[in-house]
Amino acid sequence: MKTRKPYIYEAILSFAFLIAVMGIGIAVFGSDPHIPMLIGTAFAALIALKIGYSWKEIEKSMFDGIGQALQAIVILAIIGVLIGVWLLAGVVPTMIYYGLKILSPKIFLFATVIICSITSLATGTSWGTAGTIGIALMGIAHGLGIPAPIAAGAIISGAYFGDKMSPLSDTTNLAPAMAGTDVFTHVKFMLKPTIISYGITLTIFLIVGFRFGDTNVDMTAIQSMKDGLESAFNISPILLIPPIVVIVSIAKKMPAIPGIFIGIVLGAILAPIYQKANFGDILSASYGGYVSETGIESIDSLLSAGGLTNMMYSISLTLIAMMFGGIMEKTGQLEVIVNKLISKVKSIPGLISLTIATCIGSNMTMPEQYISIVVPGRMYAQAYKDKGLHPKTLSNALESAGTLTSALIPWNTCGAFLYGVLGVPTMMYAKWAIFNYTMPIVVIILSFVGVTVAKLDSESKTKVS
């Protein structure tokens, strides 16, 4: 059977089916996105058969799609190892400890953003930050008389800043993988727009916080966490060396895999010195993650993490999503949809705005932040390349909209989770999650003056696939 170009309705049908099954699976039955994504992949394969592709060609398209994400998969795997080793060595607890020390009642909201930022940067997880330190901070806010939606907005803003910028975050690795660049290039390019949005966020919370600055506050919960960290770990500024080295390697453009591996080695060296860990402990934390046993629930919940096995959730979802993307891309289904959308866009800021709108739409219709990065990433990768844009331009748009707006949608997995742990309905905290909604706006505005736009130079063109 001869292959033909898919009709627009066939390509839309593949997406519509995926949206439907994702929506039913996640929103109605509370399922993880993996199997709905796999079902959507099977449907896309049926459409590919209908337009004339053989199963061998479809299978190859899936493998080709996975091949495009292999670097990201390897990075996710070794980041799991890094987190486990850094927890065991006391690196992450040290970062959190010093973050908690800056808490001051007179600048509570401002400090809350900073503390949650440090915690999320250290752990790479907005959910873990909100579900642990975030809960403690909500209790303190209640004692201060600060409205719960404002406190929740400060917590979420800080947690998602760290999630967006931390090389330990799965979404921070997923976005550049979908766009076709590396995580260090991605993080460095995000700095300018992120600093602007973060500065806006801190300024607003500093001003708002003055209204509550003279109230006495019970610091028992925070002091309990600090005491628990001190009793379970030897805290030392020396333990900040591994993350500093990783940050420096970002600035020096070291490739992601060796840069992260150096961080693992440094953590493994410091673990026996400061925490009396042996080689077996290091191997165990690297594979299965670190298990915290301080007896303080908030600390144990936050610090029991990491390890190769705990990254398999993200890795397996990436594999399945790339199977779907591979079919859609190689059989021309993505092309007909993108061409239809791109035909309405004449400028680079327009393309970036369209990407951000697609990410937000994905978060609303396929309510899972991973999918809102994967699907638009594969949709627009070629369009950015055709316009001579470096893929970090795309990865920045994906991260700024796909990751951050997920928390603003009540039926998205992120919005539902944050409501569950903080006890504030999404629509009530949304206007105070300042960082989350200013970030995509800042990216669009700065695209008009070229700050969030990067052209491919001749060297880069030979490297980007």
Nearest to 352 by CA among 342, 361, 343, 340: 342
Q: Would you place residue 304 in the very low, low, confident or very high pLDDT band (cuts 50, 70, 90)?
A: confident
For range 416-435, the mean pLDDT: 88
Average pLDDT, integer, range 442-455: 95
Arithmetic mean of pLDDT, 319-335: 85
> Is 449 a member of any domain?
no
CA-wise closest residue to 143 among 75, 204, 221, 81: 221
H helix or E strand, kind and range, residue 398 = helix 391-398
Using the predicted structure, report yes or no on whether residue 104 has a pLDDT greater than 70.
no
Q: Is the pLDDT of residue 186 over 80?
A: yes
| Residue range of the domain that includes 237 | 71-311
Please give the average per-residue pLDDT across 167-175, as a whole number.
86
The closest of 106, 105, 103 to 117, measured between CA atoms, is 103
Please tell me the pTM assigned to this model: 0.73
Closest to 400 in 3D by CA, of 196, 233, 220: 196
Q: What percent of the chain has pLDDT over 70?
A: 92
- Between CA 301 and CA 296 the distance in angstroms is 9
CA angle centred on 361, ends 314 and 343, rounded to 5°: 115
Predicted local distance difference test score (pLDDT) of residue 364: 80
**Residue 186 maps to a domain:** yes
Q: What is the mean pLDDT of residues 305-325?
A: 83
The model's confidence at residue 109, banded by pLDDT at 50, 70 and 90, is very high
In a domain, 220, yes or no: yes
Residue 401 has pLDDT above 70, yes or no: yes
Query: Which residue do the tokens 């006495």 mark?
Result: 216
Confidence of residue 105 (pLDDT cuts 50, 70, 90): low
In this structure, is residue 261 part of a structural domain? yes
> Does position 212 have pLDDT exceeding 90, yes or no?
no
Backbone angles phi and psi of 33, in degrees to 5? -75, -10
Q: Are 359 and 397 in contact (CB under 8 A)?
A: yes
> Sorting pLDDT into bands at 50, 70 and 90, what band is 459?
very low
For residue 41, give Cα distances in angstroms to 29, 65, 162, 175, 381.
20, 12, 32, 20, 19
C-alpha 453: how far from chain center: 21
Of the listed ranges 198-202, 308-312, 313-317, 447-451, the one predicted with least confidence: 313-317
For residue 61, give every residue at least 6 positions away whose Cβ sits within 8 Å of its Cβ, in sequence order, or none. Answer: 48, 53, 326, 327, 329, 330, 331
**Structural domain contains residue 153:** yes
Highest mean pLDDT among 53-57, 116-120, 257-261: 53-57
**Is residue 8 a part of any domain in this protein?**
no
* Domain annotation covers residue 79: yes
The span from the CA of 184 to the CA of 191, in Å, is 11
Cα 445 to Cα 448: distance, rounded to the nearest angstrom? 6
Of residues 135 and 286, more confidently modeled? 286
Report residue 165's pLDDT band, with 50, 70 and 90 as the boundaries: very high
How many distinct structural domains can be found in the chain? 1
- For residue 228, being part of any structural domain is answered with yes
- Residue 172: partners with Cβ closer than 8 Å, 6 or more residues away: 124, 163, 164, 165, 166, 183, 186, 187, 399, 403
How sure is the predictor about 283, in pLDDT bands with cuts at 50, 70 and 90? Answer: very high
pLDDT classification of 197: cutoffs 50, 70, 90: very high
